[in-house]
Amino acid sequence: MGSAVVVVTDSTAYLPPGLAERHGLTVVPLQIAVGGTTRDEGDISTAEAARALKEWHPVTTSRPAPQRFADAYKAAAASGAREVVSVHLASAVSGTVEAARLAAEDAPVPVRVVDSGTIGMGLGFAALSAAAAAMAGGSADDTVAAATRRAGLTRSLIYVDTLEHLRRGGRIGAAATLWGSALMVKPLLEITGGGIAPLEKVRTSSRALARLEELAVAEAGDRRVDLGIQHLAAAARAETLAARLRRRVPRVQDLYVGEVGPVIGAHVGPGMLGVVIAPHL
């Protein structure tokens, strides 16, 4: 017999290997098309997608089919779950929440779908908080509240080498693209209102990365926080930033470093570096 509440999330949470399994999380993959072939995220390497992006080949992404969620909800019910909480990336950037809600209508157990309003490890930390509440014996209400509170406290800061990938994918407006390209500035972005928005512009990549570090340190303050350092084809930058933040953030608990998958990578492009600051509840 499993937990009374099972938590489902999607592959854009980009949890480190083994973490979803240890927390009893079910992960439903989004899809990505490279060179006309569509596959589940996880069946295509990030390196392959990054190579296609560097060569400016078309790379597109799509939400899971509602049937994929329906199958996950049926499996949860078969394992003994009485309710499901399904926590997903922001509806402002993906139709994943809509697909989950369609599947929930005919699920064999009640399903609560949560729009996290964020992406990447911002979603990952929300899903982990939900799973912790469920594993502690919490109700579906408790589990939803844990996910919602953690997502609301979390801040995601992003550096990209260019806004062109976000513009091509329709994830940032033309005006913002012009803002990023003026005078060859390097843009810093944030997740706000469920979408990706400009935060600051800096003249060089080295200054932008230093500013990203300063913003992360200020956001963490003296709170007890978890940190997620995410990148695309920028492992050395990510490891350097992680080491500096571990020294400078006084109450950092868990710190994860990893590469984003191709679904998010297709929209941010190689060179991306992000920091997720997730205070504890």
pLDDT at residue number 25 = 97
Predicted TM-score (pTM) of this structure: 0.90
pLDDT at residue number 96 = 97
Residue 117 — very low, low, confident or very high, per pLDDT cuts 50/70/90? very high
pLDDT digits (tens, 9 = 90+) for 20-36: 999 999 999 999 887 77
Average pLDDT over residues 227-243: 96
Q: Is residue 252 in a domain? A: yes
pLDDT at residue number 178 = 45
pLDDT digits (tens, 9 = 90+) for 155-195: 999 998 877 656 665 555 544 544 445 446 788 999 998 88
Q: Same structural domain for residues 148 and 159? A: no
Q: Is residue 52 in a domain? A: no
pLDDT at residue number 187 = 84
pLDDT at residue number 47 = 77
Q: Is residue 14 in a domain? A: yes
**% of the chain beyond a pLDDT of 90:** 68
Average pLDDT over residues 130-151: 97
Distance CA 228, CA 165 (A): 22
Q: Same structural domain for residues 136 and 113? A: yes
pLDDT at residue number 86 = 98
**Total of domains in the chain:** 2
User: Mean pLDDT score of the chain, rounded to an integer?
Assistant: 89
Q: Is residue 78 in a domain? A: yes
Residue 2 — very low, low, confident or very high, per pLDDT cuts 50/70/90? low
| Domain C-terminal end among 127, 152, 177 | 152
Q: Is residue 42 in a domain? A: no
pLDDT digits (tens, 9 = 90+) for 32-89: 887 777 889 888 777 777 777 677 777 788 899 999 999 999 999 999 999 999 999 9
Q: Same structural domain for residues 121 and 226? A: no
| Domain C-terminal end among 128, 152, 176 | 152
Residue 265 — very low, low, confident or very high, per pLDDT cuts 50/70/90? confident
Q: Is residue 197 in a domain? A: yes
SS (HEC) of the chain? CCCCEEEEEEHHHCCCCCHHHHCCCEEECCEEEECCEEEECCCCCHHHHHHHHHCCCCEEEECCCHHHHHHHHHHHHHCCCCEEEEEECCCCCCCHHHHHHHHHCCCCCCEEEEECCCCCHHHHHHHHHHHHHHHCCCCHHHHHHHHHHHHHHCEEEEECCCCHHHHHCCCCCHHHHHHHHHHHCEEEEEEECCEEEEEEEECCHHHHHHHHHHHHHHHHCCCCEEEEEEECCCHHHHHHHHHHHHHHCCCEEEEEEEECCHHHHHHHCCCCEEEEEEECC
- Given a cut of 60, whether residue 228 has pLDDT beyond it is yes
Q: Same structural domain for residues 129 and 213? A: no
- The domain in which residue 89 lies consists of 5-29+64-152
pLDDT at residue number 174 = 44
CATH number at residue 163: 3.30.1180.10
Q: Is residue 137 in a domain? A: yes
| Higher-scoring residue by pLDDT: 165, 281 | 281
**% of the chain beyond a pLDDT of 70:** 91
Average pLDDT over residues 79-108: 97
